[in-house]
Chain A
Amino acid sequence: MQLSFLAAAVFFLLGAGDESARVNDLGHRLMCACGCNQILLECNHVGCSYSDRMRAELIAAVDRADSDDLTLQSFVQKYGPTVLAAPTKTGFNRVAWIAPYMALVLGIGLVSLVVRAWRSRPLLLPADAPAPVHGAELERFREQARKETEG
Chain B
Amino acid sequence: MSQIGSFALLLALALSAYSFLAGLLALLRQGQGSERLGETARRAGIATFAVILLAAVVLVVAAFQNDFSIAYIFHHSNRDLPAPYKFATLWSGQEGSLLFWSLLLAAYALVLRLRYKTDVRLFAHASVIIAAVQVFFLLLLNFAAHPFAVMQGSLPADGNGLNPLLQYPEMVIHPPMLYLGYVGFTIPFAFALAALVMRYPGEKWIHITRRWTMVTWGLLTCGIFLGAHWAYSVLGWGGYWGGDPVENASLMPWLTGTAFLHSVMMQEKRGMLKTWNMWLIFSTFMLSIFGTFLTRSGVVSSVHAFAQSSIGDWFVAFLAVIFATCVFFYVKNRSHLRSEHRLESLVSRESSFLFNNLLLLVACFTVLWGTLFPVLSEWVQGNKVTVGPPFFNRVNIPVALLLLLLTAVGPLLAWRRTSLESLKRNFLWPAIGAVGTGVVLVGLGLRPWKDASYFYSLMTIMLSVLVALTVISEFVRGGRVIGRHTGQRLFASMAQLARRNTRRYGGYIVHFGVIVIMIGFAGSAFNQDREQEMGFGDKMAIGPYTLVCQSYTQDDNPNYASEWAVINVFKGGKQIATLNPERRFYKASQQTSTMVANRSTPQEDLYLVYEGQNQDTGRPIIKAHLNPLVMWIWVGVWIIIAGTALALVPNAPAPVRVPAPARMETAPVVAGD
In the bound complex, do residue A44 and residue B623 qualify as a contact, i.e. CB atoms below 8 Å apart? yes
Q: Which of B353-411 contact A (CB under 8 A)?
A: 354-355, 358-359, 361-362, 365-366, 369-370, 373-374, 377, 380-381, 383-391, 394-395, 399
A8 to chain B, nearest CB (A): 9
Chain B: CB-nearest residue to A122: B342
- Verify A148–B666 contact, CB threshold 8 A: yes
Q: Check B388 against A86 for contact (C-beta < 8 Å).
A: yes
CB atoms of A123 and B615 under 8 A apart: no
With the chains together, A28 CA to B242 CA distance in Å?
12
Contacts of B476 in A (CB 8 A): 151
A1 contacts which of B302, B359, B380, B616 (Cβ < 8 Å)?
B616
B301 at the interface (CB under 8 A from A): yes
B92 at the interface (CB under 8 A from A): no
Interface size on B, residues (CB 8 A): 81
Q: Which of B121-129, B526-534, B566-574, B645-653 contacts A (4 or more CB under 8 A)?
A: B526-534
Which of A28, A91, A96 contacts B370, CB < 8 Å?
A96
CA distance A111 to B340 in the complex (A): 18
Contact A3 B390 (CB under 8 A): no
Shortest beta-carbon distance, A116 to chain B, in Å? 9
Chain B CB within 8 A of A54 CB:
no
A82/B671 contact (C-beta < 8 A), A46-B592, A107-B361 known: no
Q: Are B478 and A149 in contact (CB under 8 A)?
A: yes
Q: Would you call B390 and A28 a contact (CB within 8 A)? A: yes
In chain A, positions 112-151 with a C-beta closer than 8 Å to chain B are 114-115, 118-119, 121-124, 138-139, 142, 144-146, 148-151
Chain A residues whose C-beta falls within 8 Å of the C-beta of B380 in the assembled complex: 92
Cα A114 to Cα B346 in complex, Å, equals: 11
Q: Is B454 interfacial (CB-CB < 8 Å)? A: no
Please name all residues of chain B whose beta carbon is closer than 8 Å to the beta carbon of A82 when the two chains form the complex: 374, 383-386
Q: With A31-B388, A85-B388 as known contacts, state yes or no: A118 contacts B339, CB within 8 Å.
A: yes
* Contact across chains for A97 and B395 when beta carbons are under 8 A apart: yes
**Distance in angstroms between the alpha carbons of A79 and B562 in the assembled complex:** 34
Contacts known (A10-B532, A84-B386, A87-B391); A92 close to B377, Cβ less than 8 A: yes
User: Shortest Cβ distance from B532 into chain A, in angstroms?
Assistant: 7
Indicate whether B50 reaches chain A with its CB closer than 8 angstroms: no
Cα(A93)–Cα(B370), bound, Å: 11
Please tell me the size bucket of the interface on A: 35 or more
Are B373 and A149 interface neighbours, CB within 8 A?
no
* B238 at the A interface (CB under 8 A): yes
- Beta-carbon contact of A138 and B417 below 8 Å: yes
Name the A residues within 8 Å of B42 (CB-CB).
none
**Is B93 interfacial (CB 8 A cutoff)?**
no
The contact string, 1 if C-beta is below 8 Å from chain A, for chain B 313-352, is 0000000000000000000000000111111111000010
Tell me whether A4 and B388 are in contact in the complex, defined as CB-CB below 8 angstroms, given that A96-B370, A107-B362 are known contacts: no
B611 near A: Cβ within 8 Å?
yes
Task: Tell me, rounded to whole Å, the shortest Cβ–Cβ distance linking A12 to chain B.
Answer: 12
User: Known contacts A37-B301, A46-B612, A86-B387; is A149 also within 8 Å of B343 by CB?
Assistant: no
Contacts of A88 in B (CB 8 A): 385
Given the complex, which residues of A lie within 8 Å of B414, measured CB to CB?
142
Which residues of B625-673 have CB atoms within 8 Å of chain A's CB atoms? 664, 666, 668-671
Report whether B377 and A119 are in contact in the complex, using a CB–CB cutoff of 8 Å.
Answer: no
A96/B362 in contact, CB under 8 A:
no
CB contacts under 8 Å to A, within B193-242, are 235-239, 242
B residues neighboring A (CB under 8 Å):
235-239, 242, 244, 272, 301-303, 338-346, 351, 354-355, 358-359, 361-362, 365-366, 369-370, 373-374, 377, 380-381, 383-391, 394-395, 399, 414, 417, 419, 422, 476-478, 480-481, 484, 530-533, 583, 592, 594, 609, 611-617, 621, 623, 664, 666, 668-671
Given contacts A123-B341, A124-B340, A149-B669, 15 further A-B contacts (CB under 8 A): A1-B616, A3-B621, A4-B615, A14-B530, A38-B303, A44-B236, A82-B383, A86-B386, A87-B377, A92-B380, A101-B395, A104-B359, A114-B354, A118-B339, A138-B417
Kindly list the 5 A-B residue pairs having the minimum CB-CB distance in the complex, ordered from nearest.
A151-B480, A118-B343, A42-B237, A85-B388, A86-B390
Pairs A–B under 8 Å by Cβ, sample size 26 = A1-B615, A1-B616, A3-B614, A3-B615, A6-B621, A37-B244, A37-B301, A37-B303, A38-B237, A38-B303, A39-B242, A44-B237, A44-B594, A46-B592, A80-B383, A81-B384, A87-B391, A91-B381, A96-B391, A100-B362, A100-B395, A104-B399, A118-B272, A119-B343, A146-B422, A149-B481
**Chain A residues within CB distance 8 Å of chain B:** 1, 3-4, 6-7, 10-11, 14, 28-29, 31, 35-39, 42-44, 46-47, 80-88, 91-93, 96-97, 99-101, 103-104, 107-108, 111, 114-115, 118-119, 121-124, 138-139, 142, 144-146, 148-151
